[in-house]
Structure 1
Amino acid sequence: MTQGWIVSLIFSLILTSSCSTPKIAPISESTSPEVELPKEIQTQFAVKEVKDMPPPRAPTPTPTATSAAVPTSKTSKKSSKKKASAAETRTVTQIAEAAPAFQYPLRRKDPVPFWVGEKQSIEVTFFGMAAGEFELETMPLKQVNGRKVFHFEGRAKSSSVFALVYRLNDKIESFMDYDGIFSHRFHMLLDQTRQRRDSLELFDHEKKQVYYWNRKNHVEKGYSEIKEYKEISPFTQDSFSAYFYARTLPLEPGASYIIPVSSEGKSWEMQLTVVRREMIDTPLGKKQAVVVRPQTRFQGVLKQDKGESYIWLSDDDRRFILRFEAQVKIGTVVGSLKKVTLGEPPSTAQNADQKPENNSR
């Protein structure tokens, strides 16, 4: 989930990093996933503007005609000597319906909590020191695989002081189905002190598989590359879209929600448990928050993490991240909402060409 991404980006390697780390060669753009993908996959998962989207086509079964000779018999009145007349045949045409077309779920509940143009800026601290900042932004609607999609971006950057210990400048993107609220495409670019990564995940829900391509330059391990297809549960989330899906849940007191996730070629489940509700201080003033605890389940078994993590979401129809805490090997990583831009309401955001409203708080 988003919290796990934050921790991995900022702190997973901090304890083994140093200022004297040598430079890592950048990953060549000439061999980017977009260039080397098979043509049919390039076309299927290309990101396009909504205005270029073809009109939806209703699936219509294609009938096939099959003919069969059905014998009929008649008795001749003129010839009583014959026991039976010659057999006659007539043709019967049977219409066989085609197999039902693949059906996408309709899980969107209006109004959706994420608005085009919304932006959350969160300050991350470690032992009271400003470690970095990350932003979550909802971009204009796009289309992928002939489907309208939400476009989410996340950017993380270390502070100037913390960069002396460990530098990062990372970006992730997720494209979530507008009606079904599941992931079609995930792209991650990491530029850090000890590694550079370019990771792409393409979700084919009809075939129940994900195409995973990860390229990495590591300061000690060198260059490595993975290309593989993996099976997935239908309508699963990526590690970033899981947060946006969670924002659509009712988050009832004491409830636990299971979210299927696929990341880095592995399928697992996020168990999100509602812990409590409480008032907290935020840049938006005092806000009622719902506190949730994300945990990982693999093959139905709850994974025992080394440290607990909690996320405070605004207890309203937007579910902004107000705060998070994640225990690491030493200390606790804390993130606090610094600024939020509300974006434009869904009633006006349907036009992808319309510029988002800059109503910051």
Structure 2
Amino acid sequence: MAASSLENLRMRPMLGWLLVLSSALMMAGCSAKYMKVKNPDLLTSGNREFEQAVKIDAPTEDGPTVTTSGPPPEPAETAAKGKKGKGAKKAPPPRKAPVKKGKAGAKAEGPLVHEPADVEDGRGFIGRRPVKDPFRIGETVVHDVSYFKVSAGALTMKVEPFAQVNGRKAYNFTTSLKTYPRFESLVYAVDDKAVTLVDFDQLIPRVFTLHVKETGQLKEARSYFDFDKLQARYWEKKVNKQGEVEEKKQEWEILPYSQNVFSAIYYMRLFDWEMGKEYAFRVADDEQNLIFKGKAIRRETLDTDIGPFKAIVVKPEITVKGIFKPVGDIYIWLSDDDRKLVLRLESKIKIGTLVSEIIRYEPGRAP
């Protein structure tokens, strides 16, 4: 599959990865070696602008934390006051419900209102926080990705221990795709990983990092969503056909409470998904501000290799600048409980259907 085609799949990474594998299956017999770079240090070296804007304290497997260089940790509210320039924009704080007066005339403060109220359904939230948090530290969901019942790779979604981004507590979500050795040797090799850090209180993505290692491309990317300025910044290093590193930078204005493409699949799990009701939220990607919409179309029991699950089937769509953009016949199965685990992804393509379904699950522990 051409690298340009892969770029177009960035907007929907999980399903995009599945489509990468489907195209690779049709190219059987091609070279399956990983792409190489003349100077690997240029690809993996840090980005000064990113490191100046972001300080990350994240747990590691071998120790308690790893710290990136960057500004001293400080709450976003403090940073906004100290760095606010002329014309700077800022995401509004959650609104409170209208104040009611008691019998004695005293004012009673209403509950926090879920924002953005004009886009998202606020049922199940108090302000921006969910009444029931579906995420557990150590939660791991592994899917087998297959095409015409031929297994190609494993898709893994994991909730890591909390991180700190510029002094603010953040969820630490990792999503990865790794092809199986036999598939790599005969068809196409993929070893991709995305990490997204989502603000705990506001449930908005602060950072994502992306590592792409495939037969067709090598890429390192990172992004920072600055909600004080309502600005997204994206940096990318990619290897071209000559083995040289090319750099790309994007900046664009985002809307309050936008998700990125890697946080979106986790954010979906916060909603109730009532039958026939449409749910929506904002997504910012590739210099575009999008609206993700999805509707729960049915309930069913999904039989899997690790047993049956009661499931909700969701049909998603994307709206760009008010115009509906079909994303093909794609369906997402979520567990019909408080966790809303991603049980199955299904994408119908020109020939056949690509399927990603749960084969292993570790529930994790409550924070």
TM class by shorter chain equals 0.7 to 0.9
**1:47 aligned residue (56, 66, 70):** 56
* Alignment partner of 1:232 is 2:251: no
**2:310 aligned residue (273, 276, 288):** 288
| Secondary structure of residue in 2 paired with 1:11 | helix
| TM-score normalized by the length of structure 1 | 0.76
The total of aligned residue pairs comes to 307
Q: CA deviation digits over 1:257-314, x for unaligned, max 9? A: 2221122333322111111111121345322100001212111111133x30101110
Q: CA deviation digits over 1:73-101, x for unaligned, max 9? A: xxxxxxxxxxxxxxxxxxxxxxxxxx998
Aligned to 1:250: 272
* Alignment partner of 1:315 is 2:333: no
Aligned to 1:182: 204
Query: CA contact under 8 A between 2:31 and 2:188: conserved in structure 1?
Result: no
Aligned to 1:343: 364
Q: Provide the aligned C-alpha RMSD in A.
A: 3.1
Aligned to 2:195: 173
Q: 1:209 to 1:17 in 2, by over 3 A?
A: farther
Query: What residue identity is the alignment partner of 1:48?
Result: D
Q: 1:117 to 1:276 in 2, by over 3 A?
A: same
Aligned to 1:331: 352
Query: CA contact under 8 A between 1:212 and 1:265: conserved in structure 2?
Result: no
Aligned to 1:7: 18
Query: What residue identity is the alignment partner of 2:145?
Result: V
* Alignment partner of 1:36 is 2:57: no
* Alignment partner of 1:275 is 2:284: no
| Secondary structure of residue in 2 paired with 1:333 | strand
Q: Percent identity?
A: 30
Query: CA contact under 8 A between 1:136 and 1:152: conserved in structure 2?
Result: yes
Larger deviation, residues 48-57 vs 191-200: 48-57
Q: 1:169 to 1:101 in 2, by over 3 A?
A: closer
Q: 1:212 to 1:322 in 2, by over 3 A?
A: same
Aligned to 2:35: 24
| TM-score normalized by the length of structure 2 | 0.74
Aligned to 2:122: none
Q: Quick one: distance in 2 between partners of 1:55 and 1:21?
A: 46
Q: Quick one: distance in 2 between partners of 1:235 and 1:27?
A: 40
Structure (1 or 2) with the larger CA radius of gyration: 1
Query: CA contact under 8 A between 1:2 and 1:242: conserved in structure 2?
Result: no
Query: CA contact under 8 A between 2:177 and 2:191: conserved in structure 1?
Result: yes
* Alignment partner of 1:158 is 2:167: no
Query: CA contact under 8 A between 2:143 and 2:360: conserved in structure 1?
Result: yes
Where structure 2 has 5 or more consecutive residues not aligned to the other structure, the ranges are 1-11, 60-64, 82-87, 95-126
Q: 1:261 to 1:12 in 2, by over 3 A?
A: farther
Q: Quick one: distance in 2 between partners of 1:27 and 1:143?
A: 35
Q: 1:279 to 1:23 in 2, by over 3 A?
A: closer
Residue pairs, 1:190-229, within 5 angstroms = 190-219=212-241, 223-229=245-251
Aligned to 2:116: none
Query: What residue identity is the alignment partner of 2:56?
Result: V
Q: CA deviation at 1:17?
A: 6.9
Query: CA contact under 8 A between 1:22 and 1:219: conserved in structure 2?
Result: no
Q: Quick one: distance in 1 between partners of 2:269 and 2:25?
A: 30
Q: CA deviation digits over 1:155-213, x for unaligned, max 9? A: 11111222111111111110011011111011111111111111211101111111111
Q: CA deviation digits over 1:93-141, x for unaligned, max 9? A: xxxxxx9986554411143101110000100110110111111110000
Q: 1:267 to 1:12 in 2, by over 3 A?
A: farther
Where structure 1 has 5 or more consecutive residues not aligned to the other structure, the ranges are 63-98, 350-361
Query: What residue identity is the alignment partner of 1:260?
Result: R
| Secondary structure of residue in 2 paired with 1:244 | helix
Larger deviation, residues 263-272 vs 13-22: 13-22
| Secondary structure of residue in 1 paired with 2:301 | strand
Query: CA contact under 8 A between 2:34 and 2:213: conserved in structure 1?
Result: no
